[in-house]
Amino acid sequence: MKRSLRPLAATAVIFIIAYALSVLQFPSMLSTRVLGNFLTDNAFLGIAAVGMTFVIISGGIDLSVGAVIGFTGVLVAVLISWMGIHPLLAFAIALGVAGLFGAAMGLTIHFLNVPSFIVTLAGMFLARGGASVITQDSVPINHDFYGTVTGLIIRLPGGGRLSFIGLLMIAIFILGALLAHRTRFGSYVYALGGNEVSASLMGVPVARTTVQIYMLSSMLAALAGIVFSFYTSAGYPLAAVGVELDAISAVVIGGTLLTGGYGFVLGTFVGVMLLGLVQTYIIFDGTLSSWWTKIVIGVLLFLFIVLQRVIFAASTPGEKSPEKA
Amino acid sequence: MANSPFVLEARGVIKIFGNHTALDAVDFGLKAGEVHALLGENGAGKSTLIKILTGAYQPDGGGVFVQGEQVHLDNPLHAQTHGIGTVYQEVNLLPNRSVAENLYLGHQPTRFGLVDHRKMEANAKVLLQRYGLNLDPGSELGTHSVAVQQIVAIARAVELSGKVLILDEPTASLDRNEVERLFEVVRDLKSRGLAIIFITHFLDQVFAIADRVTVLRNGRLVETRPLDSVSRTDVVRLMLGKDIAFSGATDLEPENAHSEVLLDFRDYGRKKSVQPFNLTVHKGEVIGIAGLLGSGRTEMARIMFGADPADQGTLHISGKPVSIRNTSDAIAQAFGFCPEDRKAEGIFGDLSVRENIVIALQGKLGWFRALNRDEQLEIAGKFGEAMDIRAASLDMPVKLLSGGNQQKVILSRWLATDPAFLILDEPTRGIDVGAHAEIVRTINRLRDDGMAMIVISSELDEVVAYSSRIVVMRDREMVAELRGKNINPGVIVQAIANHPDEAVA
Amino acid sequence: MKRLHLERLANPQLLALAGVLLINWLLFPNFFRITWQDGRLFGSLIDVINRGAPVAILAIGMTGVIATKGVDLSVGAIMAVCGAVAATMVVAGYPTPVAVIAALAVGLACGLWNGFLVAVLDIQPIIATLVLMVAGRGIAQLITEGSIVTFNDPALIFIGTGSFLGLPMAAVIALVLMVLVTFLVRRTAIGLFIQAIGVNRAAASLSGIRSRMLLMLVYALSGFCAAIAGIVVAADIRGADANNSGLWLELDAILAVVIGGTSLLGGRFSIPMAVVGALIIQAMNTGILVSGFRPEFNLIVKAGMIILILLIQSPLAGRLFTGRLVPAKAARK
């Protein structure tokens, strides 16, 4: 097996075993209802994690994701509720704003040649601050369109519901996988994560690709923000605090190397589902408290970082020591 | 003009960095269907010339001509469109991607806008077979040997450019079989009419594959000659320069046989680095190490100092067995080491001259026996003065000093630790005349004071002047230990060039 | 001695702090008014020092980490954990010193864990410390069992709200810690070695400096400082809030260190200037509050500060003039 597939295989095996154990303990977890809710409840995280996957494969990190989700929620709510703009137009505006925002971060990272974490940190402050300046309160959204979309569900046998936003997440994952694995842009993203100097010598448009990667991440975060507004029917500036950490965790647990260069969009899907499983299990159990989620995620994160270290440190014949890289 | 004999030509190319002339009116012509070796020691201007030919640098004078037409190459990608492809020593491909993608990145075949992996891998398979590689194009490049990666890099360069192939030290980390495999590919390309520039430090390889050779020294063209008209010794002499070959007998220093043996290396070596060697070092003597770049001379120094610890053999210091597993062990035994790459491994650029001088001594003293500022100033001042370091202030960042003064700082750093044994790797390379003389003076003074030293240098007449023995390295092996009368640079050059297949000239 | 003093006053961080304070004074004329009441000082300026203390304490530890070319993202989470330890222990009836020492020990252990990942397993600092950043708050909640553990232990509360010689205790702790740590790194060779590793690790290794122990030390110190900050914050609000204690403060601490002139690329550092950096951040925060803006505005100002510092530190300006917009990384080859 290719070594880049090993962490993903480990995740998949862990997911299957964990799910099987959960089902043994709570047979009702094996139902279309639970599975449907799995998708719906994690849709916003999944969509944001797709963008994060691209960023991390390219060797960067995006700390602004949660803030962009919060900002988008507020922006959409304000546009719809205060200005009476149709939701679809509001969504388009929000996506456009996020695209510009991501482009600005990408440009800064590339041209100032600074670590992505510090730039996206500024982005996080900016987006949270911007949202809070617009409003400090939750802005409710009361629009028929929201009801229509929320009502779009496919009923599954066994009482499950496949919601529109659940399907949207799946669609984003499929598109993301195509983009990553079947387009030149995707190959450039991997190239940047592998070796930026080589990539540029091989003709990869480094600046353009970097900008596109952060645009993609911010726009998917904005889409996640729109989806989030469907759960709450409101925009709140402090919504989705810390979601970037969940997204990073899902990406890493899904087999993407945090140092860049290796990873799979569909692996992130398994990562998101594994996080969802932990949460669902804790809810089913009832005696366990919610904070176990974070601890389990932290433990998984640690295990996968060490696992990747072991798999990829068995250094390849042609590579120099990491000290020099 | 258009029917120039050369596919690629540099005419009177000049490149100046600051006040240093890296290339001084160099002419270079490359014919189709030839392998043209480009030789020269570090700093000779090879890499600068290559960077100009590939568009990474712009010449400050002269011009680059492709098939007789002057061209302006903006960058390596632009050079590619003129048919010039380059393969670097450190494979500049993506080890994390598949072989096929490395061949076609940026030019992948698409179908309905999506990359057609099947077609790409099929094309790759066919292409690689022409290079004698039968491997799965979908496999990750990094899982293959460096030799295979080099061939993939060559295939990519030839596919995308097609007229000129520049091989910049492609064999540096290959073993003998791999080199042969690479050469088969090069011979095949040559027969297909490609013009190939081959840069290496291995003379054997030059004679094995090249048709003509161009030697650069100190930024100047020394000569371009067909290889069948020169001997190995001629080439070494051209590279090292200064009509040293038969200059009379500058005798070595008399060996001081009575003085005490300080170090005794027995079968000392490290796998995949340097073959085991035997060497004794007396107090108060300098041993010169000669050899071309890549001969294993730096590796030998690093093994002695524990930077890459030995994995075989023994070391006795003053008769007692000692094991050196890391640099701290070496320093505890009063070793010192001035590395070859001053900037990357020697100086702490942002730190002050004072801190740069005291750091090794402080490292020896540990965390808590700290030298206070006054003590630091005193030590730095003392050695700064002894070495004649020209710095406006001992508190200025060392990166602002000239190369020669930086070298004096590093030397002072070790002298401050009061070493018994000092290893100097190219201590006089790339520094001005004054600093050069100062360092040679210091070496002589330290030897007379009883210090044992090993000096690696390409400046043969200089090495002869202060050494009592010369160790010659070739192909990562200690091949000779020259001692006694009548050792002069000419003899050393022959020892370096000497090859079992060639009768001694 | 006096001349040295004047030179110090002219450095950009102190000038920036003076500038921010001056703007605050223009916006709020009473800004510099300090009153004496109940044996302690009151006033906006005192408030800046008091509120800025937790970030200043974090910045003291963070400086060492950043000087070695690393970063510690976990300090906010460690604050929450240590605050939780101290609070739950006093509530459970342990004597205050035991609770405090236990909390400090936990912070030290967290720091050693980070140091182990970075120095021994050789994992990139940003990744290594991410583990505790994610898991830490969960652990803190586990300790507090999800609630905000409030306490009435006067000795512990004194750490957060008491005063010493009229100054708020938190500021006194920050000041003492700053002096102690500065003394520790400057009077020993540790500071020199930290810089050496940050500037050129290969040369440091050839000079006989053992970087592993040193990295363990700086991360341990960072964890220890986070523990102190966590105790101070918990004592201030008389309770341990696992969710919000220290939230995003790691980022403020990084910002303070960077404002204090330590490059994210490692090397030269100044602990007092990082503390000044923390005060600048807090002074702006206070200024925004007293001038009637919303506190959230502060985030935008912080973002602006990061961008400004990146611009000042970047070689872009130089490259813009030469017309070569190639990042140094790619151009180096």
Tens of pLDDT, residue by residue over A32-47, are: 888 888 888 899 999 9
Token pair recorded at residue C41 = 């000082």
Say which of A204, A319, A320 has its CB closest to residue B106: A204
Partner A, chain C 68-97, Cβ-Cβ below 8 Å: 71
Q: Which two tokens stand for residue B5?
A: 């004999």
Do B65 and B165 belong to one domain?
yes
Q: Which two tokens stand for residue B174?
A: 């290959």
The residue among B357, B387, B418 that closes a domain is: B418
Residues in chain B: 505
Task: Select the more confidently predicted residue: C98 or B492.
Answer: C98
Is B469 part of a structural domain of the chain? yes
C140 φ/ψ sector (left φ>0, alpha ψ -120 to 50, else beta) = alpha
Which residues on chain A are in Cβ contact (under 8 Å) with C142?
289, 291-292, 295
Residues B354-389: pLDDT tens digits?
999 999 999 888 888 888 888 899 999 988 888 888
- Domain enclosing residue B269, as ranges: 260-334+419-498
Count other Cβ atoms within 10 Å, centred on residue C165.
Answer: 8
Say yes or no: A180 contacts chain B, CB-CB below 8 A: no
**Closest to A75 (Cα-Cα) out of A132, A116, A19, A32:** A132
Do the Cβ atoms of C199 and B331 come within 8 Å?
A: no
* Cα nearest neighbour of A245 on chain C: C134
pLDDT of res. A108: 92
Distance of CA C296 to the CA centre of its chain: 21
Report whether B277 contacts B268 (CB < 8 A): yes
**What type of residue is B211?**
D
d(CA B277, CA A75): 73
Q: Considering its fold, how many domains does chain A have in total?
A: 1
Integer Cα distance of C241 and C82 in angstroms: 11
Cβ–Cβ below 8 Å for C190 and B331 = no
From B92, B115, B144, residue closest to A201, measured CB to CB: B92
Q: Is residue B207 part of a domain?
A: yes
| CB nearest to B347's CB, from C203, C205, C333 | C203
Please give the radius of gyration of chain C, using alpha carbons only, rounded to the nearest integer: 20
Q: Select the residue of B95, B110, B113 nearest A319 (Cβ to Cβ).
A: B95
Residues from chain C that touch A112, judged by Cβ atoms under 8 A, are 310-311, 314, 316
Chain C residues in contact with A123 by the CB 8 A cut-off are 303
Which residues, including other chains, have CB under 8 Å from residue B194's CB and lie 6 or more apart? B32, B33, B158, B162, B163, B164, B165
Burial of B213-243, coded b for 16+ CB within 10 Å and e otherwise, reads bbbbbebbbbeeeebeebebbbbbbbbbbee
Q: In chain A, which residues have their Cβ closer than 8 Å to the Cβ of C315?
A: 113
Rg, C-alpha atoms of chain A: 20
∠ CA A212-A121-C326 to the nearest 5 degrees?
45
Summary mean pLDDT of chain B: 85
Query: Does A3 sit within 8 Å of B93, measured CB to CB?
Result: no
> Beta strand B164-168 with B84-87: parallel, antiparallel or unpaired?
parallel
d(CA A14, CA C147): 32
The string of pLDDT tens digits covering residues C51-98 is 899 999 999 999 999 999 999 999 999 999 999 999 999 988 899 899
Tell me which of A231-240, B65-74, C222-231, C284-293 is least confident: C284-293
Same domain, residue pair B320 and B303? yes
- CB B105 to CB A203 under 8 A? yes
Judge whether residue C266 has pLDDT over 80.
yes
B322 and B196 within one domain: no
Mention every residue, 6+ apart, whose C-beta is less than 8 A from residue A97.
Answer: A72, A75, A222
The answer on pLDDT for C217 being more than 90 is yes
Residue A244 domain flag = yes
Residues B88 and B74 in one domain: yes
| pLDDT bucket at C315, cuts 50 / 70 / 90 | low
The reported pLDDT for the residue numbered B257 is 60
Q: Which of residues 269-328 of C touch A (CB under 8 A)?
A: 294, 296-303, 306-307, 310-311, 313-316, 325, 327-328
Identify the top-confidence range among A251-255, B88-92, C15-19.
Answer: A251-255
Residues, chain C, total? 333
Residues A266, A254: Cα–Cα separation, whole Å? 8
Q: Strand B164-168 to strand B220-226: parallel, antiparallel, or no bridges (unpaired)?
A: unpaired
Strand boundaries in B177-311, DSSP class E:
195-199, 212-217, 220-226, 261-270, 274-282, 286-290
Helix residue ranges, H only, C92-239: 96-115, 125-144, 154-161, 169-187, 190-199, 201-206, 211-237
CB-CB contact of B26 with B64 (8 Å): no
Residue reference for tokens 């062990």 = B329
Q: How far out from the chain centre does Cα B300 lie?
A: 14
Measure A223 CA to nearest chain B CA, in Å.
24
Residue C219 phi/psi, 5° resolution?
-70, -35
- For residue A30, name the pLDDT band (cuts at 50, 70, 90): confident
Instruction: Specify the pLDDT at position C85.
Output: 94
Q: Which residues contact C73 (CB under 8 A, 6 or more apart)?
A: C126, C129, C130, C133, C250
**DSSP-assigned states of every residue in B418-486:** --SEEEEESTTTT--HHHHHHHHHHHHHHHHTT-EEEEE-S-HHHHHHH-SEEEEEETTEEEEEE-SS-
Bridge partners (DSSP) of residue B198 are: B37, B167
Same domain, B276 and B192: no
Contact B92 A195 (CB under 8 A): yes
Q: Helix, strand or coil for residue C173?
A: helix
Distance from C-alpha of A6 to C-alpha of A314, rounded to nearest angstrom:
13
- Tell me the percentage of chain B whose pLDDT exceeds 90: 24
A195 to B145: CB separation less than 8 angstroms, yes or no: no
CATH no., domain C42-310: 1.10.3470
Report d(CA C180, CA B211) in Å as an integer: 69
Which pair of tokens denotes residue C258? Answer: 């960077």
Q: Are residues B85 and B158 in the same domain?
A: yes
The token pair at C63 is: 């400086």
Q: How confident is the model at residue C325 (pLDDT cuts 50, 70, 90)?
A: very low
Check A202 against B94: CB less than 8 A apart.
yes
- The CA distance from B399 to the nearest CA of chain A, in Å, is 20
d(CA C272, CA A123): 28
Confidence label for C18 from pLDDT (cuts 50, 70 and 90): confident
- B247 domain residue, yes or no: no
pLDDT, residue C287, reads 83
CA dihedral for C182, C185, C191, C194, sign (positive or negative) = negative
Residue A254 lies in a domain: yes
Task: Check residue A314 and give its pLDDT.
Answer: 52
Please tell me which chains touch C, using 3 or more CB pairs under 8 Å as the contact test: A, B
The residue among B307, B336, B309, B301 whose CA lies nearest residue B457 is B301
Asked if the model's pLDDT at residue A216 lies above 80, the reply is yes
Span A256-308, pLDDT tens digits: 988 888 999 999 999 999 998 888 888 888 777 778 888 888 898 888 888 88
Which helix (H) or strand (E) segment is B62 a member of?
strand B61-66
Vertex B190 angle, CA B188 and B194, to 5°: 125
- Do the Cβ atoms of B184 and B177 come closer than 8 Å? no
ipTM of the complex, rounded to two decimals: 0.82
For residue C37, the model assigns a pLDDT of 78
* pLDDT tens profile A159-211: 778 888 899 999 999 999 999 999 999 999 999 998 888 898 888 899 999 99
Interface test with B, best of C207, C262, C313, C324 (most B CBs within 10 A): C207
| Predicted local confidence at residue C9, as pLDDT | 54
Closest by CA to A208, choosing from A182, A189, A181, is A189
Is residue B442 in a domain?
yes
Nearest chain B residue to A206 by CA: give it. B106
Sign, CA dihedral C115-C120-C122-C123, equals negative
CA dihedral over B312, B317, B319, B322, signed as positive or negative: negative
For chain C, which residues make up each domain, given as ranges? 42-310
Full residue range of the structural domain in which residue A235 is found: 3-313
Query: Is pLDDT at B501 greater than 60 in this prediction?
Result: no
Distance CA A229, CA B192 (A): 64
What is the domain-level CATH number for residue A50? Answer: 1.10.3470
Q: B362 and B270 in one domain?
A: no
Q: How far is CA C42 from the centre of its chain?
A: 24
Q: What is the DSSP letter of A116?
A: H
Lowest mean pLDDT among B31-40, B205-214, B225-234: B225-234
C-alpha distances out from residue C303 to A119, B169, C233, C255, Å: 9, 47, 24, 10
- Nearest-CA distance B309 → chain A (Å): 16
Residue C150 CA to its chain's centroid (Å): 25
Query: Residue B252 — pLDDT band, cuts 50, 70, 90?
Result: low
The pLDDT confidence band at residue B231, using thresholds 50, 70 and 90, is: confident
Please indicate if any CB of chain A lies within 8 Å of the CB of C124.
yes
Number of domains in chain B: 3
Q: Give the nearest partner residue to C206 out of B337, B349, B371, using CB atoms.
A: B337
Residue with tokens 């702090």, as numbered in its chain: C17
Contact C235, C50 (CB under 8 A): no
B69 strand-pairing partners = B66
Cα distance between residue C39 and residue A20, in whole Å: 65
Q: Long-range CB contacts (< 8 A, 24+ apart) of B182-191?
A: B182/B147, B182/B150, B182/B151, B182/B154, B183/B208, B183/B209, B184/B132, B185/B131, B185/B132, B185/B151, B185/B154, B186/B35, B186/B154, B188/B131, B189/B154, B189/B158, B189/B165, B190/B33, B190/B34, B190/B35, B191/B33
Asked if B166 and B194 count as a contact pair (C-beta separation under 8 A), the reply is: no
Q: What pLDDT, on a 0 to 100 scale, did the predictor assign at position B251?
A: 56
- Tokens in use for B451? 């210090």
**Which of residues B388, B418, B448 is at a domain's end?**
B418
Boundary of a domain, candidates B208, B240, B272:
B240
Note whether residue B58 is domain-resident. Answer: yes
Same domain, B285 and B348: no
CA distances from A179 to A16, B112, B170, B453 (A): 27, 13, 35, 60
pLDDT(A320) > 50 = no
Return the SS3 of B87: strand
Cα separation, A130 vs B394, whole angstroms: 49
Residue B248, pLDDT score: 44
Claim to verify: residue B16 and residue B89 sit in the same structural domain = yes
Q: Which residues of C touch B364 (CB under 8 A)?
A: 208
> Which chain B residues are closer than 8 Å to C192 by Cβ?
351, 355, 358-359, 362, 370
* Rounded Cα gap, residues B235 and C155, in angstroms: 83
Residues in a beta bridge with C163: C168
User: What tens digit of pLDDT does each residue of A45-97 get?
Assistant: 999 999 999 999 999 999 999 999 999 999 999 999 998 889 999 999 999 99
Q: Measured between alpha carbons, how far is B394 from B396 in angstroms, rounded to an integer?
A: 6
